[in-house]
Amino acid sequence: MHTKTTILTLPEDELVYPGNRACAGCALGIAYRIGLKALGKNTIIVVPPSCLTVLQGLYPIAATKLPSLNVTFASTAAAATGLLGALKARNKKGINVVGWAGDGGTSDIGLQSLSGACERGDNFLFVCYDNEGYMNTGVQRSGTTPLGALTANTPIKGKLQHKKDVPAIMNAHRIPYVATCSAAYPLDLYDKIKKALTFEGVKYIHIHTPCPPGWGFDPRYAVKVGKLAVETGLYELYEVENSHVRLTGASKKLMEKRKLLPVKDYFRAQSRFAILSDNQIEQQQKEVNERWKDYFEILDDSDEETAD
Amino acid sequence: MQMIESGNVAAALGVKLSRAQVIAAYPITPQTPLTEKLSEFIEAGDMSAEYIPVESEHSALAVCIASSSAGARSFTATSANGLLYMHEQIHWASGARLPIVMCVVNRGVGAPWTVWNDHQDSMSQRDTGWIQIYANDHQQIIDAVIKAYALAEEVMIPVMVCYDGYLLSHTYMPFDIPDVSLADSFLPPYKPAYCLDPGEPANLNTVTLPDVRDDINGNRAHGYFEIRHLLQQDMIASMDALERIDSRFKTVFGRGGNPFIESYRTDDAEFIAVGIGSLSYHLRDVVDNLRDEGISVGGMSIQLYRPFPYSAVAEALKGCRGIIVFEKALSYGYQGPVCSDIKSALYQHGRQNSHRPFVLNYILGLGGREIVTKDLYDALKLSCTTGPDAPDELRWIGLKI
């Protein structure tokens, strides 16, 4: 449907002003800037409290050239529904309605209203930028914080539970389009948002979003850390289109090359994983290997089909 | 057109006549027949609105907050714990200055569970920056909904229209349905000064600072403190607005004239019994009985609870010897909220007139405990005869302890 967007074909119009209030090296800055390019001017955005609230600026100065509605933490998706209701009642057509929330606002406090909107089939895009914790309040654990990560409220033992798989939860609602992205692959993100907008119903995009102060790495390495998550196979880029799943972009290439980087490279690049022992890292390596073995088998099967 | 229907249907007809454009609701007893009726109007094609069956009350008001921010006339309704589940959003709606109207079908609050009527739910939302109107009967419900939109959209403050669960919501009474074309002329379509629009981007409800701040053009913008001050100023000014709207309503429909309080046989009354909602009409029977016995007593209901019509209340109670406040809500650890507010209104007034009537406070009907006319009669009679010497303590009617 789409030809792949390149740095040469990416729209030049900026909808995020430079000099916003995000931290140095914040990958949300990349994702938001590119994401808004994909959404275009004819968009209304809903934002719950999160790092994005800060990025967007303090009254009366705003960093976003889009109408933006700040809402309570739990209500992003319901507010998006309300906007759609008003636009329909007032016969305003062709306006994208987008909820853009952090991982807490999506996987934890925002999940109920998001699930309700999915079940109703309301026609908006929901974007979760996943920096894997409550970064805006000082790096506390969230539902999507990964196993073993040190946070402000898992300060000694690290998080003892696995990351909540929000895209899978969203997919269980049988919404028409679910995709995972990484801020480290902005063109892939751009194309997926563009594609998402072509579907009717709730569309869900999950963006892995490295956070230098929260994850413990030098701000200049945000893209590098984001890429390592994908290249080690810890975080897959994929899309689910009307229940059909496929790996995409860099993850698809990894599958084809059958070559993952060791997960240790990712964990050792961030101080939040400082307490992970070599054994724990090895355990996570095994889990990644098992998961990717399945992908390789799918590939083998499809190769055989092609050969037939 | 006259109709005999339930209070919930009266409310639904008021919403229909107000041409609400977005309706979001979550079921809770005893509100359900109201929102069911609205969904029926819409599905039958008798009403043009978006009906959004949300998954919680928190989301119901979230929908209305967003739809109102995008320029649509918005409505929701709830009761009891549903209202409390909205609490965060209730503050948000008034802080964002959105002209949402919400019916609160009054019900007691858990724990323990009760589904029956009292006023604890809406009274506990007194300090949220919403206008609160209480209806005494079905006619007042339907009229109040229409007036509420006119008021909300003039002063840009959301309005709760509160009425008693079951006692009004589920009982049948005759009422007049305002004529559609008259209602349309009374309440023209909502035209917001600003609503979310890609052609004119704005960032609404963003983070504010403790102090004022200049925008990029050097123009001074309000800080949080100024924004809150303006809400208070506009709340107070909304009393004048309501008076004008009520007067206009009376001109068009021939009903109204008591936007703040409703007095009954108070002209020469030495004692005045105060109640809210259906209780105030219940008290009228008792007033009649006592009048027959030669006791100089009248009744008063509070129609507008926030903003509190302190001048009208003080004026109405001027010169009486005693005030007896009957309440279906309680500020635990002190007294009934209406009693406190009346005392506060009288304080300034009493200072000017060196007049301090006694004020007695009765708590009754919590969780739907039956309010027996004889009990009201006994309590009011006793208060009128021994009131000045009665100790200042909370009294409970119908308590079986």
Q: What SS3 string covers chain A?
A: CCCCCCCCCCCCCCCECCCCCCCCCCHHHHHHHHHHHHHCCCEEEEECCCHHHHHCCECCCCCECCCEEECCHHHHHHHHHHHHHHHHHCCCCCCEEEEEEEHHHHHHCCHHHHHHHHHHCCCCEEEEEECCCECCCCCECCCCCCCCCCECCECCCCCCCCCCCHHHHHHHCCCCEEEEEECCCHHHHHHHHHHHCCCCCCEEEEEECCCHHHHCCCHHHHHHHHHHHHHCCCCCCEEEECCEEEECHHHHHHHHHCCCCCHHHHHCCCHHHCCCCHHHHHHHHHHHHHHHHHHHHHHHHHHHHHHC
- In the numeric block, the tokens 């809770």 are attached to B28
Residue B91 counted as domain residue: yes
**A211-266 tens-digit pLDDT:** 999 999 999 999 999 999 999 999 999 999 988 999 999 999 999 999 999 999 99
Share of chain A above pLDDT 70, in %: 97
DSSP B193: S
Contacts B205 to A, Cβ<8 Å: 69-71
Residue B248: which of B161, B156, B147 has the closest Cα? B147
Mean pLDDT, rounded, for B374-385: 96
CB contact under 8 A, A69 and B197: no
Residue B194: which of B101, B60, B130, B99 has the closest Cα? B99
Residue A78: which of B53, B264, B154, B34 has the closest Cα? B53
Alpha helices (H) in B204-223, listed in sequence order: none
Residue B244 counted as domain residue: no
| Domain shared by B168 and B267, yes or no | no
Domain end point (choices B142, B158, B186): B186
| Domain shared by B174 and B285, yes or no | no
| Domain shared by B12 and B143, yes or no | yes
> CA A4 from chain center: how many Å?
19
**B9-46 tens-digit pLDDT:** 999 999 999 999 999 999 999 999 999 999 999 999 99
Contacts A46 to B, Cβ<8 Å: 66
Share of chain A above pLDDT 90, in %: 91
Phi, psi of A134 (to 5 degrees): -85, 80
The reported pLDDT for the residue numbered A294 is 87
Amino acid at A300: D
The reported pLDDT for the residue numbered B352 is 67
Contacts A57 to B, Cβ<8 Å: 203, 206-207
CB contact under 8 A, B24 and A68: no
Distance (Å, rounded) from C-alpha B61 to C-alpha B330?
26
Distance (Å, rounded) from C-alpha B74 to C-alpha B18?
10
Between CA A228 and CA A237, with CA A231 as vertex, the angle to 5 degrees is: 105
Residue B215 counted as domain residue: no
Output the six-digit token pair for B373. Answer: 């006319």
Query: How far A107 CA lies from chain B's nearest CA (Å)?
Result: 16
Residue B201 counted as domain residue: no
CB contact under 8 A, A69 and B66: yes
Contacts B48 to A, Cβ<8 Å: 89
The reported pLDDT for the residue numbered A304 is 64
* The pLDDT of residue A308 is above 60: no
* The pLDDT of residue B160 is above 90: yes
Confidence of residue A288 (pLDDT cuts 50, 70, 90): very high
Contacts B76 to A, Cβ<8 Å: none
Distance (Å, rounded) from C-alpha B170 to C-alpha A199?
44
CATH number at residue B304: 3.40.50.920
Instruction: Find, in chain A, the residue whose alpha carbon is nearest to that of B60.
Output: A78
**B238-287 tens-digit pLDDT:** 999 999 999 999 999 999 999 999 999 999 999 999 999 999 999 999 99
CB contact under 8 A, B69 and A90: no
Residue B224 counted as domain residue: no
Residue B186: which of B138, B155, B154 has the closest Cα? B154
The reported pLDDT for the residue numbered A82 is 98
User: In a 3-state reduction of DSSP, which class is residue B397?
Assistant: coil
| Domain shared by B139 and B272, yes or no | no
User: In a 3-state reduction of DSSP, which class is residue B214?
Assistant: strand
Mean pLDDT score of chain B, rounded to an integer? 96
> CA B363 from chain center: how many Å?
19
The reported pLDDT for the residue numbered A6 is 95
Q: Determine the structural domain holding residue B338 and report its residue range.
A: 261-396
The reported pLDDT for the residue numbered A295 is 86
Contacts A86 to B, Cβ<8 Å: 21-22, 50, 66-72, 74, 195
Contacts B207 to A, Cβ<8 Å: 53-54, 57-59, 70
The reported pLDDT for the residue numbered B269 is 97
Contacts A58 to B, Cβ<8 Å: 206-209, 213
Sequence-distant (≥ 6) Cβ neighbours of residue A203 within 8 angstroms: A124, A125, A126, A175, A176, A177, A178, A196, A197
CB contact under 8 A, A67 and B198: yes
Instruction: Find, in chain A, the residue whose alpha carbon is nearest to that of B75.
Output: A82
Task: Centre a 10 Å sphere on the Cβ of residue B382 and count the other Cβ atoms it contains.
Answer: 14
The reported pLDDT for the residue numbered B311 is 94
Residue A236: which of A223, A213, A253 has the closest Cα? A253
| Domain shared by B40 and B166, yes or no | yes
* Burial status of residue A273 (CB atoms within 10 A of its CB: 0-12, 13-18, 19 or more): buried
The reported pLDDT for the residue numbered A306 is 55
Sequence-distant (≥ 6) Cβ neighbours of residue A252 within 8 angstroms: A237, A246
Distance (Å, rounded) from C-alpha B150 to C-alpha B159?
10
* The pLDDT of residue B75 is above 60: yes
Between CA B372 and CA B335, with CA B271 as vertex, the angle to 5 degrees is: 65
Amino acid at A54: V
Exposure b/e, B290-321, CB count within 10 A at least 16 = b: beeeebbbbbbbbbbbbbbbbebbbebbeebb
Residue B225 counted as domain residue: no
Q: Which of residues 30-69 of B touch A (CB under 8 A)?
A: 48-50, 52-56, 58-60, 62-69
**A194-215 tens-digit pLDDT:** 999 999 999 999 999 999 999 9
Domains and CATH numbers, chain A: 27-307 (3.40.50.970)
In total, how many domains does chain B have?
2
Distance (Å, rounded) from C-alpha B37 to C-alpha B40?
5
Residue A42: which of A5, A13, A81 has the closest Cα? A13
Task: Centre a 10 Å sphere on the Cβ of residue B234 and count the other Cβ atoms it contains.
Answer: 17
The reported pLDDT for the residue numbered A100 is 98
* The pLDDT of residue A307 is above 60: no
| Domain shared by B124 and B269, yes or no | no
DSSP B310: H
Output the six-digit token pair for B10. Answer: 């009266």
Amino acid at A33: R
**Segment (H or E) for B105:** strand B101-106
| Domain shared by B62 and B178, yes or no | yes
Q: Which of A70, A78, A85 sits opposite B204 (nearest CB)?
A: A70
Which of A27-36, B192-201, B349-358 bottoms out in mean pLDDT, i.e. has the lowest? B349-358
* The pLDDT of residue A163 is above 90: yes
Q: Which of residues 194-233 of B touch A (CB under 8 A)?
A: 195-198, 200-209, 213-216, 221
| Domain shared by B34 and B124, yes or no | yes
| Domain shared by B174 and B302, yes or no | no
CB contact under 8 A, B65 and A82: yes
Instruction: Find, in chain B, the residue whose alpha carbon is nearest to that of A81.
Output: B63
Bridge partners, residue B74, by sequence = B22
Q: Which of A85, A113, A120 sits opposite B67 (nearest CB)?
A: A85
Distance (Å, rounded) from C-alpha B82 to C-alpha B104?
10
> CA B189 from chain center: how many Å?
23
The reported pLDDT for the residue numbered A305 is 59
CB contact under 8 A, A71 and B70: no
Distance (Å, rounded) from C-alpha B309 to C-alpha A243?
59
Which of A15-24, B82-91, B320-329 bottoms out in mean pLDDT, i.e. has the lowest? A15-24
* CB A129, CB A100: distance < 8 Å: yes
The reported pLDDT for the residue numbered B53 is 98
CB contact under 8 A, A86 and B71: yes
Output the six-digit token pair for B84. Answer: 């409390």
Mean pLDDT score of chain A, rounded to an integer? 95
Strands B304-306 and B131-134, bridge-based pairing: antiparallel
* CB B93, CB B130: distance < 8 Å: yes
Distance (Å, rounded) from C-alpha A257 to C-alpha B166?
70
| Domain shared by B47 and B160, yes or no | yes
Distance (Å, rounded) from C-alpha A223 to C-alpha A231?
12
DSSP string, B169-192: TTSEEEEEPPPHHHHHHHSPPP--
Residue B350 counted as domain residue: yes
CATH number at residue B64: 3.40.50.970
| Domain shared by B63 and B177, yes or no | yes
| Domain shared by B156 and B269, yes or no | no
Distance (Å, rounded) from C-alpha A300 to C-alpha A258?
11
Distances (CA, A) of B296 to A279, B317, B352, B354: 88, 14, 25, 22
Contacts A120 to B, Cβ<8 Å: 52-53
* The pLDDT of residue A18 is above 90: no
Task: Centre a 10 Å sphere on the Cβ of residue A159 and count the other Cβ atoms it contains.
Answer: 20
Output the six-digit token pair for B150. Answer: 């006119």
Residue B28 counted as domain residue: yes
**A69-109 tens-digit pLDDT:** 999 999 999 999 999 999 999 999 999 999 999 999 999 99
Q: In the sheet where B304-306 sits, what is the strand order? A: B50-53, B22-25, B74-78, B101-106, B159-164, B131-134, B304-306
* The pLDDT of residue B349 is above 80: no
Domain end point (choices B142, B165, B186): B186
Longest dimension (CA), chain B: 73
CB contact under 8 A, B67 and A88: no
